[in-house]
Amino acid sequence: MSDNNSDFGAFVSGFLIGGLVGAAVSLLFAPQSGEETRTLIYDKGIELKDQAGGVMDDTRARAEDLAKEAKLMAEDLQKRGKGFVDDQKKKSTKAADPEKKETKKKKDDTAKK
């Protein structure tokens, strides 16, 4: 599960860095005036901000889903563990009953003598 998270984080980082590098290269090689370049930089900045916001929303939703899934898995594991412990208690009590009876009988016999 952690490998998927690190792969996803690497993808997001690469996506954002690639977007910034691509925008910078396109601006540097574009034949236009300073005012047009500033407007383009501003527009690209807004576009990248929106994309980053979308990626953050997706990441947050994915993290929430993973947290819910982990919680459900933990609850299931807790229930299974409790069931196992209860079963073992019953088995040990059942196995100890004959020994308890034998011990009580010997104690009673000893007390009578």
Summarize pLDDT for 31-80 with one digit per residue, the tens: 777 788 788 878 888 888 888 888 888 888 999 999 999 999 999 999 99
> Residue 99's domain spans which residues?
2-112
- Overall number of domains in the chain: 1
Residue 91 CB: number of other CB atoms within 10 A? 10
pTM of the model: 0.45
Tell which wins on pLDDT, 58 or 106: 58
pLDDT tens digits, residue range 8-30? 778 888 888 888 888 777 777 77
Separation between Cα atoms, residue 75 and residue 82, nearest integer Å: 11
pLDDT at 65: 93
Please state whether 30 falls in left (phi above 0), alpha (psi between -120 and 50) or beta: beta
59 closest CA partner among 11, 26, 20: 11
